[in-house]
Amino acid sequence: MGKKCEVKLHGMWASSYSKRVEMALKVKGIPYEYIEEDLSNKSQLLLTCNPVHKKIPLLVHNEKPIVESYIILEYIDETWKNSPRLFPEDPYERAKVRFWANYIQQQMIESKSRVIMSDGETQVKESKEYIEKQKVLEEGVKDFFKGDGPYTNGQNLGVLDILTVATLGFYEVQEQVFGVKFMDPEMTPFLYSWVTAVNEHPVVKEVSPPLDKIMGFLLYFKQNRPIYSNK
């Protein structure tokens, strides 16, 4: 009682980047204190510890700040080496995981951003391109599944599960709000079944906000977003 918490996470409830870190901490069984940031009035600690991007999430471990969600995931797995590991221990397998993690972060998220920041015919076109990128991911990650569980890490969530569900997990409510496809079970059946399984994991359910709250957030965002055009 009264012992200072050695791990603090500064995040925002609707941020998929914050949710990545929350999932990782819970998978590893690491106790932490969660601090909700008001992004319209960011704390001085956040601004001081992340002076380059001034963004969440921010992990503070024994008063040492770590920023950028993917870097935080690597830090967590390298600092707490207990099972389950988020990344494979074998260097070659770890390199393959990092390649597809990079693909999700650079290709998938950038493509998804163009969908949600566009409208009309442009949005339909961007949605189709987003699903095409999902097809590439589907083919690329199949060899990580060895038949010992529905996740890339067997019976436990690994980093690819975390990144994929954080990126694709709320596709149904996103389709309702934006009126375009964010996932097609016929085009990417393997990816669809994978995301469905990960969405049912107790850790994912624990950290996921209620769907009606996400719906309200996305509706507000849709009304106030700047519109992207690829013309």
Alpha carbon distance 33, 145 (integer Å): 33
What is the residue-level pLDDT of the chain in tens, covering all 231 positions? Answer: 445 569 999 999 999 999 999 999 999 999 999 999 999 999 999 999 999 999 999 999 999 999 999 999 999 999 999 999 999 999 999 999 999 999 999 999 999 999 999 999 999 999 999 999 999 999 999 888 876 678 988 788 999 999 999 999 999 999 999 999 999 999 999 999 999 999 999 999 999 999 999 999 999 999 998 886 655
Question: What pLDDT does 2 receive?
Answer: 43
Question: pLDDT value at position 147?
Answer: 67
- SS3 assignment, position 151: strand
Alpha carbons 76 and 86: distance in angstroms, whole number: 9
Residue of 63, 49, 56 whose CA lies nearest to 21? 56
Tell me what pLDDT residue 146 has: 73
Omega into 57 within 30° of 0, i.e. cis? yes
Domain 7-79 = CATH 3.40.30.10: yes
Q: For residues 115 and 127, is the Cβ–Cβ distance under 8 A?
A: yes
Query: Token pair 């990344």 is at which residue?
Result: 87
**Cα–chain-centroid distance for residue 171?**
13
Residue 1: its pLDDT value, please?
Answer: 41
Domain residue spans in the chain? 7-79, 91-224
Determine whether domain 91-224 maps to CATH 1.20.1050.10. yes
**pTM confidence score:** 0.93
In one-letter notation, the amino acid at residue 144 is F
